[in-house]
Chain A
Amino acid sequence: MKLPSLTSRQAVLGLRFGFAVLAWSQVGGHLHLGMAQSLPDAFIVIAFYMAATGLLLSWGRACSVATGVTLALVYHWFGAEDGVLGRHQVWLLSSSLLWLGVSPVAGWRVPARAPWPPRPTTDPGLHLVRVQLSVVYFFGALHKLTPAFLSGERLEAIAVEQWFGSDLPGPHGLYVAAALLTVVAELVLALGLWLPRLRAPLAGLGVALHVGFALLLPVQTFSVLAMLHYLAWCTPVARRTSASPSTTSPSGRLRLSRLGS
């Protein structure tokens, strides 16, 4: 099983474009000038849409940072009043856009420059995006290590709210099993994606998990956002070795540990 192999540039640009679309769709409809009660309100609204439009069209580094900063402002300024704008996926989107600002990839209009001398580095922006996803999974699992969740009761309540109404069917053990599986899956994804041999199957598991969440629960935006983060894993990850004759082929191309290999 292999993951698609992208260049860092393809992954960064793909992520920025995907995040731009999500920024528009998540915030759009909840943020407009009509809700501006003061000058700072209006400034944040205008700044967000300018930055997000720039990101949508240029997929550029500066627009990535600007959209990340303005989304953080939106989250804190309007999030307390509008539940959608205060959701954690807005903050996750903001963080990951900021991390992509660290990437040396400028935008789709600026051609990629080959580094000289070539060195086995991974894109720092993509690396931060990978760490971000692991942090979300790890602490997501850690906060579920409570008697309420592990006993299946929290999942039962969600099933009542989303699926069955106030007449809960099914054996209690089913909810306990689902709770345990959720925690284990999140922990395995948080740590296992860093292991090259496990990366491809775990990416498949992660995508399946998020599609499952989207089918069963109203968490579509977060699911898409998390799945987009997997693009960061579809690129070569450099080993921690310095360039040396043993790591450099005669043609000067570096050996990289390709995903899934």
Chain B
Amino acid sequence: MLAGPVWFVVTGDELRWLPAWRMFEHAGVGVCDVQFAAPDGRRLDRYRAHGVPHRFLAPDDLFALDDTRGARRAARAFCPDADRVDITMRCAGLEGWRARPKSSLWCSE
């Protein structure tokens, strides 16, 4: 009962045979928080651009973005109204948010 968690506290390693009761530690790891903005700094609504009335009705690949490629694909929806879309994103790891370098999607690309 105590061997697994005490072992982890002392050594920092989790024994495969004796869990350390680190509950739901990996929940949310890998997801990204992404903001899209126009060149003038105005925030852009991804759901409206994709014709989705509410975030909960959005398809998975728009709702939960987990990489730069997905974010750029989602940003394409703004192109009819913008020349450039600025993308700010941070992705979750075990140690918290990790900021990704800011990038821009040029609609002429």
Contacts and interface: CB of A to CB of B under 8 A. Distances in A.
Contacts of B31: 157, 160-161, 166
Interface in A162-178: 162, 164-168
A156 B33 contact: yes
B contact residues, range: 35 or more
A140 interface: yes
Interface stretch (A18-26, A45-53, A146-154, A243-251): A146-154
Counting contact residues on chain A (CB < 8 A from B), the size range is 20 to 34
Interface of B: 1-2, 5, 8-9, 16-17, 19-25, 27-29, 31-35, 46, 55, 58, 62-66, 71, 89, 92, 94-97
Is chain B's interface secondary structure helix, strand, loop, or mixed overall?
Answer: loop
A158 B33 contact: no
Consensus secondary structure, chain A interface:
helix
Contacts, number: 101
Interface stretch (A31-39, A115-123, A131-139, A252-260): A131-139
Nearest to B9: A142
Max chain B C-beta neighbours (<10 A), residue from A139, A146, A147? A139
B5 A158 contact: no
A167 B55 contact: yes
A166 B95 contact: no
A89 B65 CA distance: 29
8 contacts: A135-B21, A147-B96, A148-B95, A157-B92, A158-B24, A161-B27, A161-B92, A167-B34
A140 B21 CA distance: 6
A58 interface: no
List 3 A-B pairs, minimum CB-CB distance, nearest first: A157-B28, A157-B92, A153-B96
